[in-house]
Every structure is written in structure tokens, then in C-alpha cells.
């Protein structure tokens, strides 16, 4: 993904989730996905999909069972 696209995606997510701490970062040596952070915590990946001229984005978030222990 190009820098301009990454910035647009980040601004959209910040607005949609009302969270200015959302950060979208390029992945080294990968141009079909970016990394998703909240602050400095890695949350997941966002993949881009080009299908017959239409572009969409898929968010993949992995939650470990030990992370759920933090919320009781």
C-alpha cells in the first residue's frame, strides 16, 4: 500500500472508533498488508483485496486466551 492510502485508512479507523491512538504502519517487505496498533500495542493486520476493480480491506485481529484473563 502507498503512504497516502495508509494515512487515509488510519484516519478512517481513528474516526470510526473515536480513538486517535490507532496507528496503521507499513510492513517491511510487504505491500499487500499493514500493521494495526493502538498506541504501541500490536493489534493485528489489515490486508488489501483487489477484486475485479473493487478494493476492500480486511482486518485480522488475534486475541490470545491469556489476554482475556486481564478483564476477569
User: What SS3 class is residue 29?
Assistant: coil
Give the C-alpha separation, 34 to 25, whole Å.
6
**Is 80 exceeded by the pLDDT of residue 72?**
no
Q: What is the pLDDT of residue 64?
A: 87
* 23-53 pLDDT per residue, tens: 999 999 999 999 999 999 999 999 999 998 8
Q: What is the pLDDT of residue 67?
A: 86
Q: What is the pLDDT of residue 71?
A: 86
> What does the mean pLDDT of the chain come to?
94
Which cell goes with 7? 494515512
Amino acid at each position: 500500500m502507498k503512504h497516502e492510502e495508509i494515512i487515509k485508512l488510519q484516519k478512517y479507523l481513528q474516526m470510526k472508533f473515536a480513538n486517535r491512538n490507532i496507528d496503521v504502519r507499513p510492513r517491511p517487505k510487504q505491500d499487500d498488508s499493514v500493521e494495526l496498533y493502538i498506541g504501541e500495542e500490536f493489534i493485528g493486520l489489515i490486508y488489501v483485496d483487489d477484486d475485479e476493480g473493487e478494493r476492500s480491506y480486511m482486518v485480522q485481529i488475534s486475541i490470545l486466551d491469556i489476554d482475556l484473563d486481564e478483564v476477569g
